[in-house]
Amino acid sequence: GKLSKFTELFVEQNVCEPFSEEEGIKSSVVNEKTLIAYDEDAFLVLFAEANTSSDKLKELAWKWLANEQENSYVATEEFKKMTAPKADIAMAMSLDCMLEYKNPIYSLLMPQNLSLKDMVGIYALNFEKGKVQVDMDMLYKSDEAKEYAKIQEKIYAGQLKGKFLDRIQGNTVMFLAGTCNGEEVYSLLMENELVKSQLNSGKMPADMKTVLGSLKGEVVLAVAEGQMMPQVALYAEVKDDKILKELEDYKAAMDIAKVKYGVEDNVLYISNMESPESGKSLEDTGMAADSNGKVMYFTVDFKSLSNLFNVLGGGMEAQQMSMVAEYVKSFTMYFDNTMNN
């Protein structure tokens, strides 16, 4: 059938060895470390660890393909959740599948009794006209992971309402917004002993308890095009102006860069961005129009980003970004709650 013709292409392109058939299962090996196996019901690609032989992979593949449905992956909660939404491509992946060098970063942000394998991302990818959309849902498998999910909900401070969109230039390159309950964020970080020791070491650039503890509400960061240098604006709802004391050491540097900062009406601003003209703000352009109602929102315009790279001096990075902009107009990611994006 079509699958056999597809696998024949692998052989013709010398990707793998010719397929052999045994007990109704066709299989082939790629570089002794990857096995492709399929029958009439399933298609498997198995990757070996450094100390695993292709024979071990074959043994495992035969065992999986011979499984009764009630004892197979089909019966798991991950598979049921993965096949529930309509998707052109669906995938489930536990967070411990991440590259090893990235795992420590996530471990720093989580309680030490929590295992990455207890959290599974369920991805549904759909191809629409001119757009690729990926929806993600998180499955928390252990009691510790479920408790962590509940804690995560506390770090947000409601939903975005677009409070600062009218203060940001419409020619924005990148826009990041979220809601933040800073006290809960600090409490969560302090549950990790390694992070706690760093925060209490006195080596941080500011008192993070004061900085984070002052945040309560919407926080936005935007980068827009400028003639000589990018325009950058940060706005955050704060409980008081105590955070200003933590910025005093950076006043001279910000003055040189013509960056204004302060707290006005419980809003912290750090910005060198000019106020947009009437009808030319981010609120008017619609770039972040669908950010309202989310708890986190990020979007970037690749053509504008390419222009910004050229303003900053060009080079290989600018050329690469120009190539990306030829095919991809923009990228947007958001969380409408702590579980989905």
Task: Enumerate the β-bridge partners of residue 124.
Answer: 90, 135
Assign 267 to helix, strand or coil: strand
In 61-214, the DSSP E strands lie at 89-94, 119-128, 131-140, 172-181
pLDDT of residue 341: 41
pLDDT one digit per residue (tens) for the chain, 341 residues:
677 788 888 888 888 888 888 888 888 888 777 889 988 888 888 887 666 777 888 888 888 888 887 877 888 888 888 887 788 888 888 877 665 545 555 656 666 677 878 888 888 888 887 788 888 888 898 898 898 888 888 899 889 999 999 999 988 999 999 999 999 999 988 887 778 888 888 888 899 999 999 999 999 999 998 877 889 999 999 999 999 999 999 999 999 989 999 999 999 999 999 999 999 999 998 888 889 999 999 999 998 888 888 877 777 888 888 888 888 888 999 988 644 44
C-alpha to C-alpha distance for 42 and 3, rounded to whole angstroms? 11
Show Cβ contacts of residue 279 under 8 Å, excluding neighbours closer than 6 positions.
none
pLDDT of residue 101: 47
pLDDT of residue 150: 86
Assign 70 to helix, strand or coil: helix
pTM of the model: 0.76
